[in-house]
Every structure is written in structure tokens, then in C-alpha cells.
Structure 1
């Protein structure tokens, strides 16, 4: 903002945004919806930058060079400082694979496409491994920079073509962008969280408000200001407390905090002092908010990586450390660089402050990739275990296993498991858990000469009428996919059907599972059910970190009992075969992610390809196959919660 248009209340609103994000990252239970602080930032950014751009457009002085020069001076110096510190720390602390990811992420963060990289490499923002990525938070910078490649040109174009209807045209575009976000969030949840098209309306809302304020000088009365403030606080407060990681986002759920931010900005448009947002502590935090946002997450992520518990005392230390680093960064990096950047030409700013750091990070990322993350820093076993985590069943069988948005994908006869032959004997159906068992099924099907078609879908257990609390669009996709699967089974009457999934622990779902199995039993020869493997906290990382840092804490977990509905189903359908992967994972009731030097897990609940095949091979060596069980069949008569695993 120019000094003459400076608004302390907007810096206070920045403070609200960064404090919300910080508290959420320290402990999600403190502020379940604290992640909406980023959306508040988007509205503020859209308002301030669009106001300046539109002012210059009206005066005929707008220049893309000057605009991007200001963006480089504002964004890059503090960002490059944090990136440098992170990659230096990473060279000492991170495993080879994680170091390669970090250095690549640093380059893409500077280039403004970190959101795309993080979406492809980490997936869900709230996933366990994402919580250890030091530059995870740079996804929001990618959204902003991509927005400002498009937005100034769009404003300029509409202003020249239809200057009198600018607000109406942009308003219509805003409504359309909200609709796109709501629709896409229900279809492609993970991509929608990270990518610009579904976030566009958040910055656009602030931009539209900025243009409106310039075209219609706001004179907000005291009562109107009070009403807007109260409603704004209510919308933001409700979002912070009522939203959670499981809520569909962005879409309409993101609209409410964005409207709250816009209302608070509008409430302060007449220049009156804001007793909350305009107080000195809030303004101070707002002034350093960009640096605070940049610094706070790497501190938390590296502590997560080192598996240091976030106690209250440590949390206070992280807050104090982040505030100190943010103030130093603001005082000695942000302010001087902005001042000196005004005196330089565009070519000098671009070369010195963008091109040179980008080339340096590109060289670093390339060298790190070339030397495989410098594995000599740790024992050879660390690299061997990490290589196993890269064996992802969903990528190995891409097209056979698909995300929810591709639920209409037709069965593919070339998606084969088991014996190599022309005829198809059966089908494997289920969700991502079924997919991660595909390596195990491939091995167990071969001795019996069985060839199966792999046909699995994310987030879709093979249970008719069960949605597992999924968002509406996902539940609808799963319902349609299961109807297709069961119709296919009934039409083809396969000799063999293998069902696997993230079977729910909720006993009330038992009747739905039983009814689903009854349809399969009536329409096929042999039905095989693969029980769910034991989830283990930090299953994919704990064994590696123990080797890296000499940690003593255990990586094992106690085996949890099966839901009682399985005993009832076994009693009613003794012809159904059950395969239990926990016979390998959980010897003597203690489940380990590392067995005989093989790291079995991809994350807390999913197996990697190496682990899946290791379990299959181990079962095979013990006399099992898809159809054979060396133990006598026993129908469980155990007490509830202790269903017998043999069949």
C-alpha cells in the first residue's frame, strides 16, 4: 500500500490470518479451521494489489514490468532467505529422498508453482508425510503468483472493452468462479485444495471489492460499519471453530471466511479506527505477517521430522522463535529490499533478485538429483528402505486403479493380476486398500493358475449403501461405481471374486457388508475377502528415522481385534475364503512395519508394493494361496471383538 492509503486495520486482519494458521499448525485441536487463515490472506492480497493496479489502469500508467518488479521486491527476498535456510538445514537432517524433494520444492516455490509440485508429490495437505515437508506452506504463494499472471491482464482487458460494466462483468466472473470451485471440490478434492482454478474466487473477491471502493468512494456509517464488523467476525470465527480437516474445501466452505474478511475490510473503508484490528500488537504482527508465515512452518515441520513431541513449553518456544525470525526478516530483508528495489530498473531486479536465485536453486536441485540426495550421509540401509516407500501400487497400476473423479472408467482386460493367460477368471474390486493388496494377490493367484482383472477406485469400499461419511460427490461416485461393479459380477458370473477395502470398524455397517457379500456369493464361484491390515502410526517413516538419528522409540503397534460382524458373516457364509495380511504383519499380536529388512508401508495405513508382495510371498511359503489355507476351517465362536481369523 502507498503510505497515504495505509490502513492499520488491514494489517490487523493479516495478524488474524497468520495467528490462525500458526495455531492450527501447532495443534489442530487448538483451532480446527485455522487453515482458513490462508483464505483471509488471499482476500487481503486481492483487495490491496487490485486497488493499486486499477488505480494505475484508470490513470493510464499501468505497466506490467513495474507490476512484476514490485511483486519480485515484495515476495522474493524474504522467500529466498527462508529457502536458503531450509535447504542448508535439510542437507544435515533430511533423508536422501526427502532432500531431493526439498531442493526441488525450493526451486518450484521461487518459480511460483510450488502448489503444483506439492499436489503431485504429497497429495492431501493434511496427510502425515506432508506434515514433515518444510516448504509445504509455499503452495499458497504459488496460487498468488499464478493469479497475478492472469488477473491484471483480465482487469485491463475488461476495462478497455467495457469500462462502464467492469464491476458487473467481474461480478459475473466471480459467481462463476465460486461455482467452479464448489463443483470441482466435490469431484477432485485434493487437486482443488492446491490449484488456482478453485482458489481464483478468493483473490477475485478481494479484487472486486477494491475496484468497487475506488469507483464508489465508500462512506460507511457507524452502524453499517459495526454490523459489517460483527458479521465479518462471526463468519471468520465460525469458520475457525466449525470447519475441520475433513470438510470439503475450498468451495462454499471457503466462501464464508472470505466474505468475513471482505466485510471487515469494507467496515474499515471510511478510515475509522478499529479497536481490535487497529491495536498496536495486532498491527505489529500484521506488519511481519509475511515473514512470520514463511518462518513458522519450517520450524514445526523440522520438529515433526525429528519426531519431537510438541509440548506446551516447546510450542511457546516455537512461537517466540518464529516471531524473532520474522521480525529480523522483516527489518533486515523485507524493508531494505523494497526500498532499494524502487531505485533499480526492471532488468536489474529480475536478474539479481529472481534469475540468480532461481539458477542457484536449479543447480542445487539438479546436483542433488544427480547424486541421489547424497546417501553417504547415512547408512546404506536408509536408502534401501526409502526406495521401498517409492514403490507405490497406485502409480504402478495407474489406469487400473483410479481416483474418485474417474469413477466412470471402464474395466480394462489388460489390468491383470496372477497367472499370465488369455482368459480372465475373476476380478479384484475395492478401494485404495484393495489396490495396495494387488501385489499380494498377484503372487497368491499364480499357483492356482488364476488370472484376475484389477478394477479398484479410491475411497470406495465394496459395500453397497455405505458412504463412510464421505463428501456428497464422492459418496455418489462410489455408489455408482459399486452398482456397476456388482452388475458386472452378476452379468459375468466370474469363477473368482476378490473383495478388499478399508473395512469399517463400525458394527452397524455389518448388515450392509453381509448383504453385499450375499449378492456376490449368489453370482460367482469362489469369493475371497481380504481383511484390512493393521494401521500403524508413522509406519513408513519410523524405521527410517530410527536408523538416521539413532532413536530408541518403538515403531510397532498392538494388533486391534476385528469387528464382530466378521464372525457372524463367517458363520452364515462358510464358503467365503478369508485372507488376513496381519498373519505376517502382526506375529504374536504385535504389528511391525519392518519385517526381515522389508519396509512394508507406504503411509500409516497403506502398504507399498514391496510390502504387499513380501506378505504374499511369505503367505505362499507358509502354504497359502488364493484358494489354499493350510489350517483347518474354524467358524469363530469367540467373544465380541475377538473374531477368529482362521477360515
Structure 2
């Protein structure tokens, strides 16, 4: 196929958009749409290869796959291996293990499925995943596997014209499904092949229904319109827009029009710098994201390092293109077994084996200092009864025939469960946990989860508590602050503060106001009032939140041999976030003759709230107490023993 400078320029625009967005979303808020442009380009090129082969009756699926292997795997494999070597020296065991898993799934082109199960693309935790960007490569590879095989099979029963019409209908159906899925299953729709395939098939339509009879003026005008649509999507679309939904048509249509224009005389087609970036675009895409994550990992994110990072990205992209991409690793192919001997597959196999070894050995834990391991292990030192993880309702702990207390709430309540259990003799006595992540027990509370999950859960809780275990003490605990103010770890990549509240009552306020607190007080007061008729009530004040992952921070501190670091937070930060909440809980407790339990009295002193004891974390992340940490609160629950006698 003749080299198309216009398409190469389109690659440059797409990769520039993605790179600028990832280094600083404020520069180009919708730069993530560059990936959608890449999908259109891939669909166009793949369709052209496949249809020319079908029409000439010489299309070979095996050779098609070999070309894709030769194009994609070597540079990707080198990136993964480089990161695995880097991780040996600079990543703590948990992070190294995660990197290994992601390296294996990236080179086996399953990473999009893994990332779908882990978290959202725009979540803050995404900046801890060195290979997150490979999800798009996995989607493309899945397209490469399915698309040509499907077209070859259909070509045996359909004419070329009918096959083209079939692709039109499949593209339309795919787009409609994408819109539906984006609003119904937002995380799935972002990562998975079924909601992205239409974008690649849309690119295929640009080949199948090419406008070849346009004048130069028409080409120029269509090209300008296409580029304007892409630029508009990159500038005006933001992370808040459900993606990919109906708005994805904007960059997709833009790329379609640029390809249709076939304008080889435009500024983009003739600009040497843009053409070079287009040629290096795949390798630039591969290397840019690990550099972004590296800046965040070493906490060196500022305007100067961003500029240096972009420069380094281009340099590494050039080197990868020149010394890896341009090598033809598969020179001959005469029979299927030749594919087994191919160097790219050897690279992928070796990467997967090495990654699996690192994963199985927990990051090859033997090469770490013991202090690193002690801190890192605390991240998995969680409630061993798995009440919340296994969705047990009710969850009995100890002797279920002699229940002495019931704890109810969200994941913060779950983190306190064994601290409560420790004040009882579990051979003779028991407790019940009614805990569910992100679901505090507040009557009338709606839910951010699909299907009003928390609302339904609270109805079950209410029925259980009002009809069982009368006079048994109930302990109410929740991470109340997060439902009002959002996440407490305010330090974010690009200096972007994560202050969006996670409110799930009748109204959703951008900034919590007095009306919200009135509503919260009414609902919570009704909740506690109903419980108080059947049970003695204990209300737990908010647990101090550390605003960063403590096990990771301490482990990394040891690994990188940093000087002594203060992990505790000022008590003023805790009070700044929680004073209004504490006052509200105190008022509700007083109104309903409930008892207040206050973790801050134990965890905070001398104007500090502690995060570790003798360098061992008391949290398993940034706000949930670990099994080691929650035992510090055992004395707080001793008053319940007297109540339960």
C-alpha cells in the first residue's frame, strides 16, 4: 500500500493529544480521544489489507497475523522487560508483583480485561499502573484476531457488495451498543473490545467507500473539517463526559473525514516534524505513560519535569522506532511452524515467563530488605473473616449461639470488626458484622452503585436488626467524610485535587452545604432512633485518614533509602475534615442516648495522628486500619463488654 502522509500526520495528531493529556490534562482536557483516532486508523489499514486480499483471492490470515506480530510485539516486549528490570531496583514487592501481572497480560494482549476488573481509567490509582496504556493495544489485537477471520468466513457466503453492507450495519449496531453500554456499564465500555470495535470498523468504511473523485478544494475542505472535529473533541471534551458514548463520534468522524480527504499537500502532510512524530507514534505511545507514572512515583511532578518527560518520550520513541520497530524479525514464512520460531513470539514468551515468575514469588520478595517486607506486608493484613469480601450476610464471628455485639457499616466498620471481636472470648461468645464497602447504614440513603445497591442492603439490615438479637449492642461505624467531601488524599498528579464529593442521598451537591447536613442529620437520626428502640447503640467517630497509602510509603522509603520521613498527619487536618461530622454524630448520640466511641483519642496525641508504630504501618492503605492497627482500639470497645453481660 502506498505510504499516506496524511494518515501519518493523523497518527502524529493522535499521539500528541494523548501524550499532552497524560502529562497534564489541563493542557488538552480531551486528549484521550487520540486513542479513538488511532482505532479509526487501524480499522482503515486493516480493512484495506484484508479486502484487497479477498478481492485478489490471495489473502493469507497467517501472513496477516505475522505482520501484526512483527509490528507490535518487539517494541512492546522491550518496554515490558525494561520496566521489569527497573522494578527490581525501585518498586516495592506489591507494586513489582502488580507490574509483573500487567506485563504478562500486556504481552498476551489481555490487559484491557484486567484493567477493566481493577478500576476506572481516570481513577487516581491509574497513575500507579505502569502499563495501563497497553489496554488499547489489547483491544486492537483482539480486533486483528477476530476481524479478518470473520471477513474471510463471510466472504465465502456473501458478495463483496453484500459484505460491505454488512460492515455498515455492524458498525451502526456497534455504535448503538456502545452508547447503551457506556451509560450502563461505564468501566467495561471504556476497556473492552465490543464497545470499541465500531470505531475500527468506521475506519474500515473510509476504505470501502472512499471518495476518490473530489477536487483539491473539496479535499482541503473535508480535511479541515475533520481536523477541526478532532481538535474540538480534544479541547472541549473532558473526563466528565461518559466515554466512549455518543460523543465519541466526534473524533471518529473527524479521523474518517481526514482519511477520506487524502490530502497529501496540507501543512500536516508536508511538515517534517509532524511526519517524524507520526512515524515514531507507536513507540512514543509505548514510552510516554511509564514516564508519566515515573514522575508521579518519585514525586517530581512539576512544569520542568513535564517538559523533560515529553522530550524524553520523543527521544525514546525515536530510538525504539529506529532500532526495534524497523527490524524485520520474521524474514521468511513458508509453513505454520515457522511462526513458532519467530523472535517476536520468543520475546513475548520470555516476558510472560519472567513476569509469571515475579508474580508467583510476590515480586521475588527474597531480594528485599526485611524492613521493606514488613511495611509492604501490612497492605494485605486485613480482616481475615472476609465478611465484606465474600458478601456474607450476616457474618458470624466466634460462637454464633452467644452473640454479644453487632457492628454495622461500610469498609471502615469492616476494618474495625476484629478489634471489636478481640474483647470477647470467641470460643464462648460471638459477634455479627453487617458490613459492605461504600454502604454506611443510613436509612433513605440512595446509592452510587448500580441498582441502588446500598439502599437495598440497608433495607435488609434494618429488617435484620429490628427482628433479631434484641438488646444486643449495635456499633455504628462509617467513613462519613468521604460521602460528604470525597477522597481525603488531596495530593494528586498534575496538582489536581480530588475533592469531588461522593454523595448519594436525594440530591448531589458539588459543594456540601447546610441543606445537605440537615438531610444527613435527619436520615441518620431516624436510623439511630429506630435502632435504639431495640438495641443499645454505640457510634464510632471517624478514623483519622492519612491521605496516602502508608504501607507503600514506608516500604518505598526503606527501599529508596530516603531520610527519615514524617508519616503522621497533623491533628488539625483530621479536625478540619471531621469537626462538623463529629459534632453531628455527638448531637445524634445525645438525642438518642447512644454512646460515642472515639478512635482519635487513641490514635491522636500531641497534635499528631499516628500512621505507624516503630516503622510498622497501622493502616493497610491510607484510611483503613490494618489488623495490627485496629488492635490499638481494643480498649475503646471494652465498655461494650459490660453492656453485653
Q: Name the residue aligned to 1:514.
A: 521
Q: Name the residue aligned to 1:251.
A: 245
Q: Name the residue aligned to 1:481.
A: 456
Deviation of 1:264 (Å):
2.9
Once the two structures are superposed, residues 243-267 of structure 1 have per-residue CA deviations (whole angstroms, 9 ceiling, x without a partner) of: 444543333354433333333333x
Q: Name the residue aligned to 1:358.
A: 348
Once the two structures are superposed, residues 535-568 of structure 1 have per-residue CA deviations (whole angstroms, 9 ceiling, x without a partner) of: 4134342111111112234333333321525424
Q: Name the residue aligned to 1:637.
A: none
Q: Given that residues 20 and 240 in structure 1 are in contact (C-alpha distance below 8 angstroms), is that contact kept between their aligned partners in structure 2?
A: yes
1:28 aligns with 2:25: yes
Deviation of 1:74 (Å):
0.7
What RMSD, in angstroms, separates the aligned Cα atoms of the two structures?
3.5
Q: Name the residue aligned to 1:617.
A: 631
Of 361, 372, 375, 1:385 maps to 375
| TM-aligned CA distance change 1:518 to 1:621, over 3 Å | closer
Q: Given that residues 135 and 191 in structure 2 are in contact (C-alpha distance below 8 angstroms), is that contact kept between their aligned partners in structure 1?
A: yes
Q: Given that residues 12 and 275 in structure 2 are in contact (C-alpha distance below 8 angstroms), is that contact kept between their aligned partners in structure 1?
A: yes
Distance (Å, rounded) in 1 between the aligned partners of 2:419 and 2:245: 39
Q: Name the residue aligned to 1:316.
A: 307
Q: Secondary structure at the match of 1:336?
A: coil
Distance (Å, rounded) in 2 between the aligned partners of 1:111 and 1:198: 20
Deviation of 1:220 (Å):
4.3
User: Which consecutive unaligned segments of at least 5 residues does structure 1 have?
Assistant: 402-410, 630-647
Distance (Å, rounded) in 1 between the aligned partners of 2:334 and 2:558: 50
Distance (Å, rounded) in 1 between the aligned partners of 2:168 and 2:191: 23
Q: Secondary structure at the match of 2:10?
A: helix
| TM-aligned CA distance change 1:241 to 1:161, over 3 Å | same
Of 588, 602, 618, 2:606 maps to 588
Q: Name the residue aligned to 2:254.
A: 260
Distance (Å, rounded) in 1 between the aligned partners of 2:232 and 2:446: 27
Distance (Å, rounded) in 2 between the aligned partners of 1:465 and 1:12: 55
Deviation of 1:601 (Å):
3.7
Distance (Å, rounded) in 2 between the aligned partners of 1:628 and 1:131: 48
| TM-aligned CA distance change 1:598 to 1:151, over 3 Å | same
| TM-aligned CA distance change 1:382 to 1:289, over 3 Å | same
1:325 aligns with 2:300: no
1:290 aligns with 2:304: no
Of 313, 321, 328, 1:337 maps to 328
Q: Name the residue aligned to 2:587.
A: 571
Deviation of 1:394 (Å):
11
Q: Given that residues 408 and 434 in structure 2 are in contact (C-alpha distance below 8 angstroms), is that contact kept between their aligned partners in structure 1?
A: yes
Q: Given that residues 407 and 477 in structure 2 are in contact (C-alpha distance below 8 angstroms), is that contact kept between their aligned partners in structure 1?
A: yes
Q: Given that residues 378 and 626 in structure 2 are in contact (C-alpha distance below 8 angstroms), is that contact kept between their aligned partners in structure 1?
A: no
Q: Secondary structure at the match of 2:432?
A: strand
Distance (Å, rounded) in 2 between the aligned partners of 1:75 and 1:317: 26
| TM-aligned CA distance change 1:569 to 1:100, over 3 Å | closer
Deviation of 1:612 (Å):
3.6
1:131 aligns with 2:122: no
Q: Given that residues 424 and 453 in structure 1 are in contact (C-alpha distance below 8 angstroms), is that contact kept between their aligned partners in structure 2?
A: no
Moved more, 497-506 or 67-76: 497-506
Q: Given that residues 499 and 530 in structure 1 are in contact (C-alpha distance below 8 angstroms), is that contact kept between their aligned partners in structure 2?
A: yes
| TM-aligned CA distance change 1:68 to 1:616, over 3 Å | same
Q: Given that residues 66 and 346 in structure 1 are in contact (C-alpha distance below 8 angstroms), is that contact kept between their aligned partners in structure 2?
A: no
Q: Secondary structure at the match of 1:310?
A: coil
Distance (Å, rounded) in 1 between the aligned partners of 2:79 and 2:382: 31
| TM-aligned CA distance change 1:499 to 1:537, over 3 Å | closer
1:421 aligns with 2:422: no
| TM-aligned CA distance change 1:190 to 1:236, over 3 Å | same
Q: Secondary structure at the match of 2:59?
A: coil
Distance (Å, rounded) in 2 between the aligned partners of 1:229 and 1:535: 52
Deviation of 1:281 (Å):
1.6
Deviation of 1:494 (Å):
6.6
Normalised by the size of structure 2, how large is the TM-score? 0.81
Q: Name the residue aligned to 1:544.
A: 555
Once the two structures are superposed, residues 272-303 of structure 1 have per-residue CA deviations (whole angstroms, 9 ceiling, x without a partner) of: 53324652221210110001111222233234
Q: Given that residues 192 and 198 in structure 1 are in contact (C-alpha distance below 8 angstroms), is that contact kept between their aligned partners in structure 2?
A: yes
Distance (Å, rounded) in 2 between the aligned partners of 1:348 and 1:261: 37
Q: Secondary structure at the match of 2:550?
A: coil
Q: Given that residues 617 and 629 in structure 2 are in contact (C-alpha distance below 8 angstroms), is that contact kept between their aligned partners in structure 1?
A: no
1:9-408 alignment to 2 at 5 Å? 9-120=6-117, 122-163=118-159, 164-213=161-210, 217-220=211-214, 225=219, 228-229=222-223, 231-266=225-260, 268-269=261-262, 271-276=263-268, 278-305=270-297, 307-337=298-328, 341=331, 347-369=337-359, 371-391=361-381, 396-397=386-387, 400-401=390-391
Q: Given that residues 549 and 621 in structure 2 are in contact (C-alpha distance below 8 angstroms), is that contact kept between their aligned partners in structure 1?
A: yes
Q: Give the number of aligned pairs.
A: 598
Deviation of 1:586 (Å):
3.7
User: Which consecutive unaligned segments of at least 5 residues does structure 2 have?
Assistant: 486-511
Q: Secondary structure at the match of 2:436?
A: strand
| TM-aligned CA distance change 1:205 to 1:625, over 3 Å | farther
Once the two structures are superposed, residues 483-528 of structure 1 have per-residue CA deviations (whole angstroms, 9 ceiling, x without a partner) of: 6357636864775363524331324421222122133234223444
Once the two structures are superposed, residues 87-106 of structure 1 have per-residue CA deviations (whole angstroms, 9 ceiling, x without a partner) of: 22222222233333333332
Normalised by the size of structure 1, how large is the TM-score? 0.81
Distance (Å, rounded) in 1 between the aligned partners of 2:234 and 2:384: 34
| TM-aligned CA distance change 1:479 to 1:107, over 3 Å | closer
Distance (Å, rounded) in 2 between the aligned partners of 1:430 and 1:623: 16
